A = this chain, B = another copy of it.
Amino acid sequence: MSAENIVWKDSFAKRASRMNASEIRELLKLLDQPDVISFAGGIPDPALFPTGVVEQAYARILADPARSGPSLQYSVSEGYAPLRAWIVRHMAALGVPCDIGNIVITAGSQQGLDFIGKLFLSPGDTALVTAPTYLGALQAFNPYEPRYDTLALGGNRTPDSYREAAAAAGGRVGLAYLVPDFSNPSGETVPLAERLALLDLAAALDTLVVEDAAYQALRYDGEPVRAIQALDVERSGGIEQCRTLYCGTFSKTLVPALRVGWICGPSAAIAKIVLAKQAADLHSPTINQMVMHEVAAAVYDAQVEKIRKVYHQRRDAMLAALARHMPEGVTWTRPEGGMFVWVSLPEGMSGAALLARAIAECRVAFVPGGAFYGEGRCDNRLRLSYSLSDPGQIEAGIGRLGALIRQVRAGA
């Protein structure tokens, strides 16, 4: 079987070009070059990881004769019960009273998105996504061959306009997906009124809302906006009646590489997702779930407070540097939390072309915006992450980038 003779299933062949991981891999490699200032990553700063606590948790569990065997053995697909119980309390504090049967552990929130695509999107169904949206959600949904339509939050599209477009494409609206807090990539937060309007829209379309809460805990200023699932529970009367699936993760708050996230939702939906989890990988690593439970129980609040302080300072440094160095015609979002600022270049300037010059000429990296769209695209956008750089690097990198944009604008 040579490469050209491999018979891929239709959907994968069709979608493979959209699942372009190489771009991201190339960007990740840049992080290893010490002279490049990278605003590309969008990943937490490992210097802030609670490494000692993680180390002690592994040591304690593996040295305990009652726990070491189970920690290394096969376990149930829904996840480690004490961790699910911790998450139940966490969700209650967010305004979502629920039960252990409403929680399934996933390999980060990314795996939750894969399962939701697998269960709710048939080929030709429509997924409503914001423009821009999280690239990884598009990658997770693409193998299930949805059509994308733009979720116009605060816009004036009617439910019928979504329904008719979906029907014309041969399917139904399978779900509406968004990152409502400090979105990846835009950094923006969906205000309360738009959250409520989204729930109205979802009710009118009788569709799911997928709330990707990856950055929700990372607010630096401004007033918290209630979780969409909490608003849904309040309106519908309870978790069992709500239409929101909440995708949570410890990746941004504690550590990413244990790969522990969760979905919270009506127990009937969770039970089906548990079957998908069993079919996909049996269960998440038992020991990592036990460790995450110990770490969350010991330091979750303190850790969130600690990283908020650091990222807050970096966010401020980036906004100040942008104001100082960007020429007229360049605009950007002002995130109240999270890891990202979304920059709009002057019309006609390409983010992808700028990246090539930025790396070659001034050793600055970022992610060009074109990849973050389900349909259409704005090529003159950049995603800048401030999570991995200290204020001095941010000032230097944005300074160099601003100078390059001036050059490009001047036709140099």
Contacts and interface: CB of A to CB of B under 8 A. Distances in A.
Contact of A49 (B72, B268, B284): B72
Nearest to A289: B257
Contact of A107 (B75, B77, B107): B107
B2 A241 contact: yes
A278 B139 contact: yes
Nearest to A75: B257
Interface string A117-148: 01111100100000000001001101110000
Interface string A1-19: 1110111111110001001
A255 B9 contact: no
Contact of A72 (B16, B51, B122, B269): B51
A274 B47 contact: no
A279 interface: yes
Contacts of A68: 49, 51, 55
A20 to B, nearest CB: 8
A31 B302 CA distance: 39
A99 B53 CA distance: 37
A300 interface: no
**Contact residues of A: prevailing secondary structure:** helix
A361 interface: no
B257 A281 contact: no
Contacts of A242: 1
Given A10-B122, A55-B63, A240-B2, A281 B72 contact: no
Q: For the side of the interface on A, what is the size category?
A: 35 or more
Given A43-B74, A256-B74, A258-B287, A114 B19 contact: no
Q: Max chain B CB contacts within 10 Å: which of A3, A9, A20? A: A9
A118 B241 CA distance: 32
Interface string A30-55: 00000000000001101101010011
A118 to B, nearest CB: 6
A55 B142 CA distance: 39
A92 interface: no
5 closest Cβ pairs, A-B complex: A3-B268, A46-B69, A55-B62, A107-B281, A257-B286
Interface of A: 1-3, 5-12, 16, 19-21, 24-25, 28, 43-44, 46-47, 49, 51, 54-55, 58-59, 62-63, 68-77, 106-108, 110-111, 114, 118-122, 125, 136, 139-140, 142-144, 172, 174, 206-208, 236, 240-243, 251, 255-259, 266-269, 272, 274-276, 278-288
